Amino acid sequence: MNSRQQPATALGDLRVLDLAGPIGLYCTKQLADLGADVIKIERPGGDLARSIGPFYHDQVDPQKSLYWFHYNTNKKGITLNLESEEGRDVFRRLANNADVIVETLPPGSLDKMAIGYDALRELNPRLIMTSITPFGQTGPYRDFKASDLIGLAMGGFLFICGWEDEPPTRVGGSQAYHTASVHACTGTLTALYHRDMTGEGQHVDVSMQQCVAHALQWVTQMYDLQNQIMVRSGRLGVPLQECADGWATVIALFDWDLFIDWLKSGGGAADLDDDRFKDMDYQIRPEVRQHITEVTDAYTRAHPKKFICEEGQKRHIIAIPANNARDVVENPQLIERSFFADLEHPELGCSLKYPGAPYRLGESPWKLNRRAPLLGEHNEEIYRDLGFSQAEIAGMKKRGTI
């Protein structure tokens, strides 16, 4: 690793050039929040991610995208036109002093501009380039485009989500993008460890499809070993009961008698105390499961989810609320562990609450220090650090290079 200052963060000695789009923004966010000096490179008109909502107070503005705010914490931001020869020359100078480049352009795009991995490693043999694409750098699908939804579908995850008698259901939150980004971050850190041991950089090739397929648990093994295609199981997979103010997960498989006693205490057991319901083979019949669900729902709908969960847990029955955003922000466990962090936004005249550290490092803390960069906010700082004079920076701006 290079000889920059060594702050008390895990990756404080690293410089990362961020050419990532939505499929890889979470990768570079993780590196930045772990202390790396991440430079987000945007085209002079601004990154397309700035147009993704929601927006602060619903004011559609590239400087007020909450999506942009979330994925670019702790990063510095510059503008640079890689379609110009001058811009590519500037990028080479940046790469010569970088540890990692994370990019999500179509395979071969950087090579065509003579700033791909093979060209840059001639300048900087210790450089690590992480390329995150829908299907990887090789194979018959390498040039196919894909969204998060396509990543879920092609990786096999979409097929198992939802109800068996309905079409597959997409899960929210850009899960394919996140899965690719998390694996890309892991691959990058592994490559950095390899570089520490050998002095060699390398190209990390990340396929979103492969990352999603890797997270399928036993689905592919069931097909491989038993020739069985796993189907969508709906509520049988994750039993959800509707409550007066939301939803809760209640699982009574481990002690049916306790569960029935609970329902009877509230007058909601109906006929479920009949001995035939104690037979697991009887319970798993579709029509019986449907009846159990209807009786249980009739009871839980009459109570708030907090009541349902507290009463269930008192009886050692698994009962967990399906928390909404407010529940998460007000959760006493997360508050006690100082999970959320407030970041100042001087240009908005306020601070905003952000999700904080997903894990704790005792000696090299993960922390939020700075909100996402404004468009070109660090141009002068970064380019002067590269050796450009004020006049040269002004000239590049005038020519549309930055």
Q: Per-residue pLDDT for 1 more than 80?
A: no
Under 8 Å between Cβ of 134 and 206: no
Q: What digits encode the pLDDT tens for the residues 259-275?
A: 999 999 988 888 988 88
Q: What digits encode the pLDDT tens for the residues 66-110?
A: 999 999 999 999 999 999 999 999 999 999 999 999 999 999 999
Count of residues in the chain: 402
Average pLDDT score over the chain: 91
Domain 15-217+357-398: give its CATH code: 3.40.50.10540
In angstroms, rounded to a whole number, what is the distance separating the alpha carbons of residues 115 and 133? 17
Q: Per-residue pLDDT for 236 more than 70?
A: no
Which stretch of 13-27, 30-44, 68-82, 214-228 has the lowest confidence by average pLDDT?
214-228
In angstroms, rounded to a whole number, what is the distance separating the alpha carbons of residues 372 and 130? 22
Q: What digits encode the pLDDT tens for the residues 150-201?
A: 999 999 888 888 877 888 888 888 999 999 999 999 999 999 999 999 999 9
| Residue whose entry in the numeric block shows the structure tokens 């939020």 | 368
Within a 10 A sphere around the Cβ of 311, how many other Cβ atoms?
A: 16
What is the predicted pLDDT for the residue at 374? 98
Nearest to 165 by CA among 253, 250, 252, 290: 290
Nearest to 261 by CA among 277, 251, 253, 272: 272
Cβ neighbourhood burial of 250 (10 Å; 0-12, 13-18, 19+): buried
Q: What digits encode the pLDDT tens for the residues 362-375?
A: 888 888 999 999 99
What is the predicted pLDDT for the residue at 239? 65
Under 8 Å between Cβ of 70 and 345: no
- Laid out side by side, the sheet with 37-42 consists of 76-79, 37-42, 15-19, 100-103, 128-133, 203-207
What is the predicted pLDDT for the residue at 391? 97
Under 8 Å between Cβ of 22 and 176: no
Q: Per-residue pLDDT for 6 more than 70?
A: no
Residue 137 per-residue DSSP state: S
Within the chain, which residue ranges are assigned CATH 3.30.1540.10? 238-328
What is the predicted pLDDT for the residue at 80? 98
Q: Per-residue pLDDT for 235 more than 60?
A: no
Q: pTM for this structure?
A: 0.88
Q: Averaged over 54-75, what is the pLDDT?
A: 97
- Strand pairing class (15-19; 318-321): unpaired
Q: Which two tokens stand for residue 274?
A: 């009949």
What is the predicted pLDDT for the residue at 241? 87
What is the predicted pLDDT for the residue at 169? 85
Within the chain, which residue ranges are assigned CATH 3.40.50.10540? 15-217+357-398
The full DSSP string for 61-81 is -TT-BHHHHHHTTT-EEEE--
Q: Name the CATH superfamily for 238-328.
A: formyl-coa transferase, domain 3 (3.30.1540.10)
Percent over 70 (pLDDT), the chain: 94
Residue 306 per-residue DSSP state: H
Confidence of residue 215 (pLDDT cuts 50, 70, 90): confident
- Within 9-147, residue ranges assigned H as helices are 25-33, 66-71, 85-96, 109-112, 117-123
In angstroms, rounded to a whole number, what is the distance separating the alpha carbons of residues 47 and 79? 9
Peptide bond into 54 cis (omega under 30): yes
Q: Per-residue pLDDT for 231 more than 80?
A: no
Percent over 90 (pLDDT), the chain: 72
